[in-house]
């Protein structure tokens, strides 16, 4: 069953993973400085599959500007081409043009709002643009479209914990992920269940220290 689930997940997973440098440790020292990424929906890191090593950021290639120009031309001529808008958003995403990626993804979603991957990628771009609340809304839309969509649930917990300091919300988001995939893992290879248990333990210790 686990192998089949990973195979199904791979259908929406590409090779690239973008690391946003989200530090889960925060001021309270959770996890001793473990680094996390808010993941692109089609990234190489699959919840439930450990990442062997931290991937490198995308490097711009001479072909990328040409591809962007071609897609910009296509969307101008054929504004109803949903696939072209998504591809343009992905190119902007991969070249770290956050606001342009948001614009392209929103254009795509105006044409087809039932794409959990695009909602997730939009959320990542919102988060990288310093808009965590909008990111959460996008992740929630992805979950609404596809309740079994794992990257959006993982990302939601990361943003809640790192950006909103909402520990209970992050735990709830990841417990919901475990309900979808009991063997879900973070890109670092640490199981989501282990992270939740450690968070609860840390919070309990902090509560005891305050009471004293």
Residue 51 inside a domain? The answer is: no
Averaged pLDDT, 68-92: 97
d(CA 68, CA 196): 41
Q: What is the CATH number of the domain that holds 128?
A: 1.25.40.10
Backbone angles phi, psi at 41, to 5 degrees: -60, -30
d(CA 36, CA 32): 12
Full 3-state SS string of 141-182: HHHHHCCCCHHHHHHHHHHHHHCCCCHHHHHHHHHHHHHHCC
Residue 84 inside a domain? The answer is: no
Residue 57 inside a domain? The answer is: no
Residue 194 inside a domain? The answer is: yes
Max intra-chain CA distance, the chain: 68
Residue 67 inside a domain? The answer is: no
Residue 77 inside a domain? The answer is: no
Q: Residues 32, 111: contact at Cβ < 8 Å?
A: no
Residue 22 inside a domain? The answer is: yes
d(CA 38, CA 171): 16
Residue 98 inside a domain? The answer is: no
Q: Which pLDDT score, from 0 to 100, does residue 44 have?
A: 36
Q: Which pLDDT score, from 0 to 100, does residue 28 have?
A: 32
DSSP secondary structure of the chain? -HHHHHHHHGGG--S------EETTTTTTGGGS-EE-PPPTT-S--TTS--SSPPPPP---THHHHHHHHHHHHHHH-TT-HHHHHHHHHHHHHTT-HHHHHHHHHHHHHH----HHHHHHHHHHHHHTT-HHHHHHHHHHHHHH-TT-HHHHHHHHHHHHHTT--HHHHHHHHHHHHHH-TT-B-TTS-BHHHHHHHHHHHHHHHHHHHH-
Q: Which pLDDT score, from 0 to 100, does residue 33 have?
A: 35
Q: Which domain holds residue 152?
A: 2-46+115-211
Averaged pLDDT, 74-89: 98
Q: How confident is the model at residue 188 (pLDDT cuts 50, 70, 90)?
A: confident
Q: Is the pLDDT of residue 137 over 50?
A: yes
Say how many domains are in the chain: 1
Averaged pLDDT, 24-47: 45
Q: What angle do the packed helices 150-162 and 116-128 form, to 10 degrees?
A: 20
Q: Is the pLDDT of residue 83 over 50?
A: yes
Share of the chain above pLDDT 70, in %: 67
d(CA 111, CA 70): 20
205 or 200: whose pLDDT is higher? 200
CA proximity to 55, closest of 41, 37, 34: 37
């Amino acid at each position: 069953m686990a192998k089949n689930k990973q195979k199904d997940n791979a259908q929406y997973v590409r090779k690239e993973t973008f690391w946003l440098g989200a530090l889960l440790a925060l001021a309270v020292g959770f996890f001793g400085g473990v680094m996390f990424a808010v993941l692109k929906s089609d990234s190489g890191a699959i919840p439930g599959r450990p990442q062997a090593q931290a991937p490198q950021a995308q490097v711009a290639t001479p072909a990328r500007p040409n591809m962007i120009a071609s897609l910009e031309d296509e969307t101008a001529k054929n504004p109803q081409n949903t696939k072209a808008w998504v591809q343009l958003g992905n190119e902007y995403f991969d070249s770290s043009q956050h606001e342009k990626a948001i614009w392209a993804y929103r254009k795509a979603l105006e044409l087809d709002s039932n794409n959990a991957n695009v909602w997730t990628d939009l959320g990542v771009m919102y988060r990288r643009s310093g808009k965590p609340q909008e990111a959460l809304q996008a992740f929630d839309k992805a979950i609404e479209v596809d309740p079994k969509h794992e990257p959006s649930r993982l990302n939601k917990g990361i943003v809640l914990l790192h950006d909103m300091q909402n520990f209970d919300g992050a735990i709830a988001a990841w417990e919901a992920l475990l309900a979808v995939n009991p063997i879900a893992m973070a890109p670092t290879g640490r199981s989501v269940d282990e992270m939740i248990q450690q968070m609860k333990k840390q919070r309990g210790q902090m509560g005891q220290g305050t009471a004293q």
